[in-house]
Chain A
Amino acid sequence: DTGVSQDPRHKITKRGQNVTFRCDPISEHNRLYWYRQTLGQGPEFLTYFQNEAQLEKSRLLSDRFSAERPKGSFSTLEIQRTEQGDSAMYLCASSLPAGEASYEQYFGPGTRLTVT
């Protein structure tokens, strides 16, 4: 098991462009979370999936953001019409579905987005 992976690790884009990030969770984890981390701050919750169902979205997730998890495996996070304020580290985490271990989230290395 290689842990949670994210691709790309870095993305530089111009304002107004669309970007898409991918997250591959640990294989037996059916919960998947997206967080955003801005410079000097802790991560903030964006959304989460249980299997393929997106169960909650934070109010931080504007309508320019969309996340999917087809077939309950990998997930994608798309940002349309990027703005400079979208510049941040986007972190993905996964966890087991139930029991005390489900409270342990395992994080990927993140995708650092820079909007110029």
Chain B
Amino acid sequence: AQSVTQLGSHVSVSEGALVLLRCNYSSSVPPYLFWYVQYPNQGLQLLLKYTTGATLVKGINGFEAEFKKSETSFHLTKPSAHMSDAAEYFCAVSDNTGRRALTFGSGTRLQVQP
């Protein structure tokens, strides 16, 4: 069985500060990992994904994440927060079976203070 743990249900940063959202996963097979963002009353938008290859992946809106197998982590970072980054962020792992369903963490709400 797969699982995702997101440390910190709420993170608050100042505008212009570094954003770091933590994600650890558990998977019995090589994982495919994702970060999604959800704005209020909207669906989820894919920020970035790791499947194979380069362990540092870049996504939209200046976000990036690094897959660290030894630490079973896939933390999301952004060098400089913008007010528009305020949202809920979800880390997810895909099972590599035929169904490819996503298992999500419980989410981290990012607040950006002016």
Q: Convert A74-115 into 0s and 1s, putting 1 for each residue whose CB lies closer than 8 angstroms to a CB of B.
A: 000000000000000001010100001011111111101000
* B74 proximal to A (CB < 8 A): no
Instruction: Number of A interface residues at 8 Å Cβ cutoff, please give it.
Output: 28
Question: Is A56 within 8 A of B99, CB to CB?
Answer: yes
- Whether A4 contacts B49 in the complex (CB less than 8 A), given A33-B101, A42-B105, A55-B99, comes out as no
Question: Is A100 within 8 A of B99, CB to CB?
Answer: no
- Closest A residue to B36 by CB, please name it: A107
* A65 proximal to B (CB < 8 A): no
- Picked from B9, B46, B49, the residue with its CB within 8 Å of the CB of A106 is B46
Chain A residue contacts of B103, Cβ below 8 A: 45
Chain A residue contacts of B92, Cβ below 8 A: 42
- Picked from B42, B43, B101, B106, the residue with its CB within 8 Å of the CB of A45 is B101
- Closest A residue to B6 by CB, please name it: A42
Cα A12 to Cα B112 with chains together (Å): 33
Question: Is B49 within 8 A of A103, CB to CB?
Answer: yes
Residues of B at under 8 Å CB distance from A? Answer: 4, 9, 32, 36, 41-46, 49, 51, 90, 92, 94, 98-107
Instruction: Report 23 cross-chain contacts, Cβ distance below 8 Å, ordered by A residue.
Output: A6-B43, A31-B100, A33-B101, A35-B102, A40-B9, A40-B106, A42-B90, A42-B92, A43-B44, A45-B101, A48-B99, A93-B44, A95-B100, A100-B51, A103-B51, A103-B94, A104-B46, A105-B46, A105-B100, A108-B43, A109-B41, A109-B42, A109-B43
